Amino acid sequence: MSGSWRAVEQLLTEGVAEGLFPGAAVCVRSQDGECFTAVVGQAEQTPEPRAATLSTPWDLASITKILGTTPLAMRFVGQGILDLDAPIAERIPDAPNGVTTAHCLSHTSGLPPWRALFETLTDQARWGSPEVRAEGLRLARTAPVAAPPGERYAYSDLGFMLLCALLEEIGGERLDVLWHREVGAHCGADLRWGWPGAAATEDCPTRGRVIVGEVHDLNTAVLGGVSSHAGLFGSVQSAAAAAAWQLRALHGADEGLQASVVRRFWTQRAVGSHRLGFDSPTPGIASAGPRWPLDGVGHTGFTGGSLWIAPRQGIVAALCSNRVHPTVEGGAVPGATGPKTIAFRRFRPRLFTAIVDALYAEGRWS
């Protein structure tokens, strides 16, 4: 390991020592190969303690949005079967009036951020059945809108669940089947919807057990572990590789994505920080830190992940962790905060800044 990466490893070690997460892994790579990897801590503390390794799969949570849903939408746009600006109600009649795919991807649909659908669909034995899955998606997309489409930015899982219904309507299969056919077969990364033996997440009060290999997000669990806002699992190396596939396409590689489509998704802006599917670095608060380029794109995940791409530099940096294991400070409710959560949010930009410093020292960053 080059001495320039010691600060990154030290931060990861400190994160475990300070109780920010039991375990974590980092992968930094160019579009063609890995620059640095590291792993620390435990994949599981209870009930079966085990160490984290580079091959440990992690629950990617909302990073699913940029490695699962968004590239599937890119594929459909490239094939001419998805119009980003067409009203979704043309295909899904009970969708909110005037809402388009672009609105959902940029979190300007007007749909509320979140609803506890699992509190309505309480029969866990039937979670994932076609009937419960259909009802869960219906409840998400018919939630009362809070603003006209395009007018207000509000990060919305429900908006992405509307996309799930649309993509399945267009593709004629469940989302995981579509992803494996349209994305997984091209990107060369081993990502899965659920993964036995993955890093543990929460000791979930709703399900009454420590969650291992099943999706942490309860609304996704209602849908059988497959949704457009969460559900993908993979190692930190696989997550970085799936992002690097998109980066190569942007730079002209013929691997199933069109450069013009990737460019549109990575650059089209709306009224908030999100572009189409991807978040962008917001000065002063971005998890990518103050040195990440403003043309960068990426996303975070509730379970403890963060993935950022620097298009001009040709770099992908991914962090995976199980910060929600074994308990979630404030509960698994979006927006819940506390001292540990605040400390983790401060940790991420420090980590990504150290990554930039190391890349700069090696002449890989300009």
pLDDT recorded at residue 337: 77
pLDDT recorded at residue 362: 94
Mean pLDDT for 332-336 is 73
Q: How confident is the model at residue 2 (pLDDT cuts 50, 70, 90)?
A: low
pLDDT recorded at residue 4: 87
Type of residue numbered 352: F
Mean pLDDT for 347-355 is 97
pLDDT recorded at residue 101: 98
Mean pLDDT for 98-113 is 97
pLDDT recorded at residue 319: 98
What does the pLDDT look like over 242-287, one tens digit per residue?
Answer: 999 999 999 999 889 999 999 999 999 999 999 999 999 988 888 9
Query: In angstroms, how far is CA 231 from the centroid of its own chain?
Result: 9
Query: Has residue 1 got a pLDDT over 60?
Result: no
Query: Has residue 314 got a pLDDT over 60?
Result: yes
With residue 354 as reference, give the H or E element that holds it.
helix 339-361
The CATH architecture one would assign to domain 3-361 is 3-Layer(aba) Sandwich (3.40)
Residue 361 DSSP code: H
pLDDT recorded at residue 329: 85
What does the pLDDT look like over 40-73, one tens digit per residue?
Answer: 999 999 999 999 999 999 999 999 999 999 999 9
What does the pLDDT look like over 6-23, one tens digit per residue?
Answer: 999 999 999 999 999 999
Cβ within 8 Å of residue 326, ≥6 positions away: 45, 46, 200, 202, 203, 210
pLDDT recorded at residue 32: 82
Type of residue numbered 206: T
Is this prediction's pTM over 0.85?
A: yes
Task: Give the β-pairing of 315-321 and 34-44.
Answer: unpaired
